[in-house]
């Protein structure tokens, strides 16, 4: 069953749920799934609705045009999508392969509601992995001595893939601010949740020395502020004194894979709305 998805963010107003539902009813739309949330602090209303596409008595384009008057009246930020139009996913990675391999395998098994169009890396280590899954691979090295030119080449490579969403699957380069702005709300990153306590190299070794009891991962949208974008998903696993740094790293990588896949899937299913620097996730 195909669905159209309507996502709304707007100032709170009386009767919003009824107004939107009535509008859908007027076009014979059958609501398959509906969620809404009121952010009391910001006085902002959020809604996600799935409509059975076959139930509408008009085209999606006509329905979209008709909804403009409602959206304007209530000052809505909104978007509507056709779930049958799969989003184009570009994976960016460096040397670590666990997240890249996990996403490629999920795509191979048709677990992702999206189409992986390529793997872009600053190293060649992931090329064989991409080839095995029959996914286009592109390498753009980033060197300190030619960084400006290399970043320009990377930007061109990204544009050539024409992605709807970019997944930084342990890509160990900072994304320039202009790219963050161009793909705002469309770049997803994953990192361990030791930040800001254990920044830099060997965080698991230092966490083990410190005797941490929880390790985890954070999936978030990328902004110009490094690792401070709106959080989509997080998860943790408990560790104890018997776990070595290597044990913790393995468990941490497992959590990273699961958390990134969940966060990406929420995005692909249009379940995420942002408000300032946080998210509403209708999971």
pLDDT tens profile 133-143: 999 999 999 99
> What DSSP character marks residue 265?
H
Q: Given the residues 12, 39, 150, 227, select the one marked as catalytic.
A: 227
What mean pLDDT comes out for the span 178-188?
96
Q: Is 28 left (phi over 0), alpha (psi -120 to 50) or beta?
A: left
The pTM assigned to this predicted structure is 0.93
Does the pLDDT of residue 226 top 90, yes or no? no
pLDDT tens profile 107-121: 999 999 999 999 999
Does the pLDDT of residue 161 top 60, yes or no? yes
Does the pLDDT of residue 267 top 60, yes or no? yes
Q: What confidence category does residue 34 fall into, taking pLDDT thresholds of 50, 70 and 90? A: very high
pLDDT of residue 211: 84
Q: Is 134 a known active-site residue?
A: no
> Mean pLDDT across the chain, nearest whole number?
94
Three-state secondary structure call for residue 93: strand
Does the pLDDT of residue 195 top 70, yes or no? no
Three-state secondary structure call for residue 38: strand
Burial track 158-169 (b if 16+ CB lie within 10 A, e otherwise): beebebbbbbbb
What mean pLDDT comes out for the span 27-36?
97
pLDDT of residue 194: 64
């Amino acid at each position: 069953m195909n669905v159209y998805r309507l996502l709304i963010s707007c100032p709170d107003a009386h009767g919003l749920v009824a107004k939107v539902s009535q509008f859908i009813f007027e076009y014979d739309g059958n609501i398959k799934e509906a969620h809404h949330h009121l952010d009391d602090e910001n006085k902002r209303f959020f809604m996600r609705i799935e409509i059975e596409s076959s139930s509408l008595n008009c085209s999606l384009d006509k329905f979209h045009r008709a909804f403009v008057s409602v959206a304007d009246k209530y000052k809505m930020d909104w978007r509507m999508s056709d779930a049958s139009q799969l989003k184009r996913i570009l994976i960016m990675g460096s040397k670590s392969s666990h997240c890249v391999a996990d996403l490629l395998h999920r795509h191979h098994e048709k677990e992702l509601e999206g189409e992986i169009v390529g793997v872009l890396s600053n190293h060649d280590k992931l090329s064989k992995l991409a080839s095995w899954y029959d996914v286009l691979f592109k390498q753009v090295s980033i060197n300190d001595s030619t960084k400006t030119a290399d970043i320009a080449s990377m930007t061109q490579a990204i544009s050539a893939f024409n992605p709807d969403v970019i997944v930084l699957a342990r890509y160990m380069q900072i994304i320039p601010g202009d790219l963050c702005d161009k793909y705002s709300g469309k770049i997803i990153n994953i990192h361990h949740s030791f930040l800001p306590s254990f920044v830099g190299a060997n965080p698991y070794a230092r966490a083990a020395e410190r005797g941490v009891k929880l390790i985890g991962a954070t999936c978030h949208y990328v902004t110009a502020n490094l690792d401070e974008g709106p959080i989509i998903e997080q998860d943790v696993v408990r560790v104890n004194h018997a776990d070595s740094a290597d044990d913790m790293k393995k468990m941490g990588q497992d959590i990273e894979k699961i958390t990134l896949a969940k966060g990406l899937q929420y995005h692909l299913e249009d379940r995420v709305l942002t408000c300032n620097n946080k998210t509403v996730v209708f999971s």
